[in-house]
Chain A
Amino acid sequence: MYQITCPHCGPRAQTEFTYERTTDSVVDPAGDTHAAMQALYTRANPMGLDDEIWRHTYGCRAWMVLTRHRVTHEIRAVKAIGPEALP
């Protein structure tokens, strides 16, 4: 079980978090069908690092982007996203 450092709460057990999707599969509601379906239905699925959107669902409920290694499970970086992280 991973330990994920929530940008708001600090290190917490993975069971408090849910994975949503990779950052490159975010569908722009204003985009065209082709772009939307490319985002929705193709993945790099690398055997290495990828940027993933996670949520501290059973904690503070905030959203974040994890840069995580798919083989070693190392979490390289965590970045807060959401209204509270806007400049």
Chain B
Amino acid sequence: MKTPYSAFSLLRGALNGQKHWEPAWRDPEPRASYDVIIIGGGGHGLATAYYLAKVHGIRNVAVLEKSWIGGGNVGRNTTLVRSNYRLPQLHNFFEFGLKLWHNLSDDLNYNVMFSPRGAMFLGHNDGDMIKLAERGDAMRCDGIDAELLTPKQIAKIEPLLDLSRGARFPIDGALIQWRAGTARHDAVAWGYARAADALGVDIIQKCEVTGFVKDGNRITGVETTRGRILAGRTGICVAGHSGHVAGLAGLRLPIESQTLQALVTEGVKPMVQSVIMSQSLHFYVSQSDKGGIVMGGDPDNWPSYARRGQPTIKEHAIAQAVTCMPALSRLRMLRTWSGVTDMSFDGSPIIGPSPIDGLYLNAGWCYGGFKATPASGWTYAHTLATGKPHELNAPFSLERFMTGATIDETSVGPFPNHR
């Protein structure tokens, strides 16, 4: 048993130099076979392993990570957590996740610092406000919190927004989801890893999958840089590298990889209270606990596997943010980073069986995968445990692209670069 995390234990550590803490997860050698192999030690993969062990009692599980866990998109996002989607398949899925988020720190015994400080979409004209009301009404009818704010109410929460009428994009109001917010991204990966490890899951780092072991139309395991490992069921969970790994199994997916950039400023005392997004502009801003303003904008909308973006994309997002919040002007951009996103062709994820027996897919998160971590893990674990999708991920099948049942929140059709 690991030493549980608590304030008491920390104080005890103060007397012994914190010498009593064990490693948060083991560093095991891979076994010859597992009931379930999850390819990808990111947030979703680790969460899947945790729920497989905890909810389904399947503990003979390995998470294979080619590098170090949490090094992909779970460690390079802007930490937003929300369920304020217009389409019911999406808001129901993310709302299920949001409920898990609210109890996640206790569940994992790891403070993931989920902070429901509210996420608001700004509206800049009457058309925006109608769209925001529509989104909010759709959510409220399905039991999800959403509230329209007047400019006066916005000013109370975010006094530094430019609420003047003469602004190029005047702020007419906002739709806020109070239960939405931010979390500490690394802690999510580590928290799931520690909790999954405690239940017996093997987390195997520096183990890259190089191919699949096939028996007819069935995947029976994987070839890795640390040897062949067999599995009853194998789940791909590699975000931006989905196209690459699925390609090893001979699959072509409705996914194109794109670079998404984010940045953080030098830390300052609290100036942004909530998460601010915009209905007609493409930026989002929040402030981390360390004081840095975290923000992002549009992806570099052409295919790339490179974790480096183009400066002009950032300049554009910053121009939008500074226009709406002029006090950001003299802050300094401290650090930038990029993630490789798995842009699906309707903007929604794919979670479910693949056309190959024994192989399952969890991909297509576009630029919104972080907030999905608990719900994705939960439903993917269900799918891997039972061979069938959970009702929440049933709509997110791979077949939907061929049948036409796409789930297109931004309604721009099949090309991610048009999104």
Contacts of B241 in A (CB 8 A): 47
A43 near B244 with CB under 8 A, answer no
> When A and B form their complex, what is the total count of cross-chain residue pairs whose Cβ atoms lie within 8 Å?
67
Contacts of A44 in B (CB 8 A): 243, 247, 252
Give the CA-CA distance A40 to B31 in the complex, in Å: 40
Give the CA-CA distance A74 to B345 in the complex, in Å: 25
Give the CA-CA distance A58 to B225 in the complex, in Å: 46
A43 near B255 with CB under 8 A, answer yes
B247 near A19 with CB under 8 A, answer no
Minimum distance in angstroms from B76 CB to a CB of chain A: 17
Contacts of B302 in A (CB 8 A): 19, 52
Contacts of B417 in A (CB 8 A): 18-21
In B42-85, the 8 Å CB interface with A consists of none
Contacts of B312 in A (CB 8 A): 1, 15
In A41-87, the 8 Å CB interface with B consists of 41-47, 50, 52, 70-73
Contacts of A45 in B (CB 8 A): 243-244, 247, 252-253, 255-257, 303
Which of A15, A19, A43, A44 has the most chain B CB within a 10 Å cutoff?
Answer: A43
B301 near A19 with CB under 8 A, answer yes
A43 near B305 with CB under 8 A, answer no
Contacts of A37 in B (CB 8 A): 401-402
CB within 8 Å for A43 and B254 given contacts A19-B302, A70-B305, A71-B305: yes
A23, CB-defined interface residue at 8 Å: no
B311, CB-defined interface residue at 8 Å: yes
The interface residues of chain A, by DSSP majority, are classed as mixed
Give the CA-CA distance A50 to B303 in the complex, in Å: 10
B319, CB-defined interface residue at 8 Å: no
B415, CB-defined interface residue at 8 Å: yes
The interface residues of chain B, by DSSP majority, are classed as mixed
B415 interface neighbour in A1, A21, A46, A73, Cβ under 8 Å: A21
Give the CA-CA distance A18 to B310 in the complex, in Å: 14
B205, CB-defined interface residue at 8 Å: no
A73 near B306 with CB under 8 A, answer yes
B303 near A72 with CB under 8 A, answer no
Minimum distance in angstroms from A53 CB to a CB of chain B: 11
B200, CB-defined interface residue at 8 Å: no
Contacts of B247 in A (CB 8 A): 44-46
CB within 8 Å for A70 and B303 given contacts A45-B247, A45-B255: yes
B304, CB-defined interface residue at 8 Å: yes
CB within 8 Å for A43 and B253 given contacts A1-B312, A14-B310, A70-B306: yes
Minimum distance in angstroms from A16 CB to a CB of chain B: 11
B414 interface neighbour in A20, A41, A50, A70, Cβ under 8 Å: A41
Contacts of B402 in A (CB 8 A): 37, 41
B415 near A43 with CB under 8 A, answer no
Minimum distance in angstroms from B179 CB to a CB of chain A: 35
A47 interface neighbour in B244, B253, B401, B415, Cβ under 8 Å: B244
CB within 8 Å for A41 and B345 given contacts A15-B312, A47-B305, A70-B304: yes
A43 near B414 with CB under 8 A, answer no
In B300-320, the 8 Å CB interface with A consists of 301-306, 310-312
Residue of B nearest to A34 (CB): B402
Give the CA-CA distance A43 to B246 in the complex, in Å: 11
A43 near B306 with CB under 8 A, answer no
CB within 8 Å for A1 and B253 given contacts A19-B417, A43-B243: no
Of the A-B pairs whose beta carbons lie under 8 Å apart in the complex, a sample of 17, sorted by A's number, is A1-B311, A19-B417, A20-B415, A20-B417, A40-B401, A41-B345, A41-B402, A42-B254, A45-B243, A45-B252, A45-B256, A47-B305, A70-B304, A70-B305, A71-B305, A71-B306, A73-B304
B residues adjacent to A (C-beta < 8 A): 241, 243-244, 247, 252-257, 301-306, 310-312, 345, 401-402, 414-415, 417
Apart from the given pairs A19-B302, A21-B415, A43-B256, 15 other A-B contacts in the complex at a CB distance below 8 Å: A1-B311, A15-B312, A19-B303, A20-B415, A41-B345, A42-B252, A42-B254, A43-B243, A45-B252, A50-B303, A52-B302, A70-B303, A70-B306, A71-B304, A73-B304
Q: Sorted from nearest, which 4 A-B pairs have the closest CB atoms?
A: A45-B243, A19-B302, A42-B252, A41-B401
